[in-house]
Structures are given as structure tokens and as C-alpha cells.
Amino acid sequence: MQSAIALPGVARGSRARERFQELLAALDVRIDGTRPFDIRVHDEKLFREALARGLHGILDAYVEGWWDCERLDELAARARSVDLNLPIAGRLSLLWRHLVARLLNRQTRRRSLAVRRHYDLGNDLFRAMLDKRMVYSGAYWSEATDLDQAQEAKLDLVCRKVALQPGMRVLDIGCGWGSFAKWAAERYGVTVVGITLSQNQLELGRGLCAGLPVELRLQDYRDLPRETFDALVSIGMFEHVGYKNYRAFGQVARRCLRADGLFLLQTIGRKASGVGSDPWISENIFPNSMLPSARQVTAGFEGLLLLEDWHSFGADYDKTLMAWWANFKANWPGLREKYGERFYRMWRCYLLTCAGSFRARDIQLWQIVFSQRGVPGGYRSIR
């Protein structure tokens, strides 16, 4: 990792440590403390990196091994619960990303292919981390006691919300390894077309769905032909669409949805509208990702689709991420040689800081149901 740039206003030496301690005090976190959410510093370069680059620098320093924390998830929850008063220098990169996001479409057809850096990392990694059906999105823990039950409950919830019936034809935008397609085809007797940008997902998904009325395609949503489906779903893909493309996404959904059909969108969401992405997540985990706000979703679909139901259950994603972390940690010995220790720290940072963000309710999880013209007599909310 590059060393911090010596910018005006960034403290040096012991002053940097003192300033960093002041920031941590707002979280009731101590340097080299004894509580699980306290941090242990291994390299004092952390202090200047934190003040120069903010949270991005702090997380990069973690990946480099400059500090540790037993309960990184709880530390993240504390950090996301308050507004850290970082120096101006620590906010410059965020301002730059905001300007770039305003000027450029970060999720064009070509740029959207960058997500393959994540989803094509290796099916062995995701098999080790996810549930038995390989569902890579927030689960529904209302009555579940383990990850497999929670993901199956989520898949079934989606099917019921779009009122699947035998013989229907369903489109899954962002199908992953085909977990929803397989469930819907087996349990509800429907035909499913799923699209993904990941070659690894496509190949494994086709194998998992073999013998079922499921067609998985390597295709961008903007390139869908003029086909009509009885129902549409998109589960955990909208985070890659970007605010400049919400209108185009809504137009595709309207064009592909039968006049009396239903469309369910599951997405992570942010509390307030913005145009940039989380810099650390975008750089290390999900390239060119962006979380929508509620206002951005409704504005993008306004005049195209009618909102029937909005279900928020972000606290469930905290449980999902902690279950993924437990699986990843337990199966790490079989992954270590291929991926290496630096990847382990990066992946731990990803899973646990995201869990903390959901725990602090800094980010949300939504299932939103849309129709074209409104459900006669009104839509009945399903939970």
C-alpha cells in the first residue's frame, strides 16, 4: 500500500496518534485496549494513513496487517453509528469520487463487466462461504435457525410475493448461480430465464439447474430481446446498476413484464441519496458498485412501474454476513494455499465491516414489489 501523502493539516508522529485516539474516543474504542472491539496497533504508520485517507486508509491498513481487532464487526457498527470528524485531507478522495460519478457513467455495458473481478474469483470460494444452494444475497431470518433455512425462506418469500403459478415464465435479472431459478422451477413449476455477467456463475449454474426448465444466459440486462414474462425478479443485482441507469433498468422491466405481472426487486439501500460508491468496497470488492436510496429507486421507476409493496429487513443481512463469515473461517484451511493471507484479511474486513454497517442501520435491505398498472383490489403484502 502506498504511504500516506503529506497533506496540509495532517498530523505527524505523536500528534497523529493523539488525533487518532480522539477519533476513536467518539466510539468508546481504545488503542491496545482489552475489549473485543478495541484495536491493537502493530505499525504506527496507521495513524497518519487514517488521518490522510479516512476510513479507506484505515481499512487498507487493516488488510496490510498494521492493526487488528477481535470483533471487527462491532467496531464497524460503532464507527457507522456516529459521524467521525475526519480532517479535510481524509475527505478529499470522497469528493473526487463524487465528482467522477457525476461526470461519468460508471456502469456502462463495458464498465459493468468489471464485476467479473468479484464473481469470477472462484466457485470454490463461494461454495465454501454460502449456503448449500449458493444464494449470494441477504437471507430472511424471520423463522429460520440457520443459513440454509433462512435462504430457502427468502427464495420462497420472493416466489409468493410475485404470485408464481405452474406454467408461468419468469425472468431473473442477475441470476447468480441459478439458486432462485432452481427453487422456482422445482417448487412452483415455472420456466425461468436467468441472466448474469459472470462466466463462472453461468457454467456452475447451468450444471446445478440441469434437467429443469431453466435457461441461463451470459447477458447484460440492456441487451434483453423483446420478450414478455409473467413475472420478473432481481435479487441482489441492482447494486451494480448505478443511478444513471435506473431509468433504463425500469424501462427494460416494464417492457419485459406482462401487463398484469409483478416485479420484485431486492436491493441493499442507503439512508440518503448519493452518487458515489463506498471507495474501499469499490476498489477491493465490488468494482463500480453503488447503493441506491429510496428516492432514487422511486424516481427512476416513476411513470414506468407502480409501487405495490416495500419490505425492509436490513437487520437480517447482519445475520447473513455473520453466517457467511463463520463458513468462510471454518473452510479457510482448504482455501489458504490458493488465496493467501492478504486475501483472508481483505475478505474478513469485507464481511465483518458490512455486517457492522447493517447492524448500525447505516445501510438497509429492501424487497420492493412493482406492477405495471396496479393490482385490481390492491396488493396483499406478504411477510
Catalytically active residues, by annotation = 354
- Which residues have C-beta within 8 Å of that of residue 159, sequence separation ≥ 6? 183, 184, 187, 188
Which distant-in-sequence residues (6+ apart) come within 8 Å of 195 by Cβ?
A: 171, 172, 173, 174, 175, 216, 217, 218, 219, 220, 221, 224
Residues facing residue 193 across a β-bridge = 171, 215
Q: Is 61 helix (H, G, I), strand (E, B) or coil?
A: helix
> How far, in Å, CA of 338 to CA of 52, rounded?
33
Q: What's the CA gap between 35 and 163, in Å, rounded?
A: 49
Alpha helices in the chain, H assignment, sequence order: 13-25, 45-63, 72-80, 92-103, 109-112, 116-119, 123-129, 147-161, 179-188, 199-208, 246-256, 279-284, 294-301, 315-331, 336-359
- Angle at CA of residue 239, ends 238 and 243, nearest 5°: 85
Which of 53, 55, 45 minimizes the C-alpha distance to 24?
A: 55
